[in-house]
């Protein structure tokens, strides 16, 4: 078993909570450059995350779990957009998609709602990423707790999660 990792936080070394350690371990083991950050305030919503990270909503990644024809699908969409269930279903090759309930989110990902990281995932069949996220040099994803986020390049996020780029959000009116 891998010993708990430590991270620097405001000048002291802190042990990471177990779900955050799982995220950090994936980054370490894969050699992916990503930075796990702990914040003083909770970041369960895209707005909270953007405020804490000092970035725009467009650079916050919402990791949303859908149930598509009985399979779990993770859709990563920008914080300023709403996922379109019909588009998610189409991208996943399913007839129908619906947003997963809280218990299903935890079953699928191993993370509680409001703290979902897009890796590692327990039972997710397919990972999709909204194309709009790929234009940024860096984005912020959930880090496994409501106080942790990971800053990562979108290309690295795609490689790490094996995400398929797709159009997943509601159209602008």
Q: What is the DSSP string of 101-154?
A: PHHHHHHHHSS-TTS--SSS-SSEEEEEEEGGGGGSS-EEEE-SSTTEEEEE-H
Residue 151 forms part of a structural domain: yes
Residue 172 forms part of a structural domain: no
Task: Give the domain CATH number at 93.
Answer: 3.90.960.10
Environment class of residue 166 by beta-carbon count within 10 Å: exposed (0-12), middle (13-18) or buried (19+)? middle
**What is residue 5's predicted lDDT score, i.e. its pLDDT?**
37
Residue 1 forms part of a structural domain: no
Task: Using the structure block, give the residue that is written with the tokens 């509601």.
Answer: 170
**What is residue 7's predicted lDDT score, i.e. its pLDDT?**
43
Gap between the Cα atoms of 147 and 75, Å rounded: 21
Low-confidence ranges of the chain (pLDDT < 50): 1-13
Could you give the number of structural domains in the chain?
Answer: 1
Residue 70 forms part of a structural domain: yes
Element (H, E) at 159: helix 154-161
Residue 152 forms part of a structural domain: yes
**What is residue 15's predicted lDDT score, i.e. its pLDDT?**
85
Residue 85 forms part of a structural domain: yes
Q: What are phi and psi of 84, to 5 degrees?
A: -105, 110
Residue 171 forms part of a structural domain: no
**What is residue 10's predicted lDDT score, i.e. its pLDDT?**
44
What is the domain range of residue 146?
A: 6-166
Enter the pTM of the model.
0.90
Residue 90 forms part of a structural domain: yes
The neighbouring-strand residues paired with 75 are 64, 128
Q: Are 86 and 97 in contact (CB under 8 A)?
A: yes
**What is residue 47's predicted lDDT score, i.e. its pLDDT?**
97
């Amino acid at each position: 078993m891998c010993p708990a990792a430590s991270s620097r936080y405001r000048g002291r070394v802190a042990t990471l909570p177990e779900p955050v350690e799982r995220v950090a371990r994936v980054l370490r083991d894969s050699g992916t450059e990503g930075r796990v950050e702990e914040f003083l305030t909770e970041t369960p919503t895209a707005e909270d995350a953007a405020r804490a990270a000092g970035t725009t909503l467009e650079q916050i990644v919402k990791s949303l779990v859908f149930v598509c024809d009985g399979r779990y699908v993770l859709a990563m969409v920008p914080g300023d957009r709403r996922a379109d269930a019909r588009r998610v279903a189409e991208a996943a090759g399913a007839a129908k998609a619906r947003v997963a309930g809280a218990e299903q989110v935890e079953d699928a990902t191993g993370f509680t709602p409001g703290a979902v990281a897009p890796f590692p995932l327990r039972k997710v069949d397919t990972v999709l990423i909204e194309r709009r996220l790929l234009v940024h040099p860096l984005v912020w994803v959930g880090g496994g707790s409501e106080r942790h986020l990971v800053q990562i390049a979108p290309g690295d996020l795609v490689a790490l999660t094996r995400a398929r780029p797709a159009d997943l959000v509601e159209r602008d009116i």
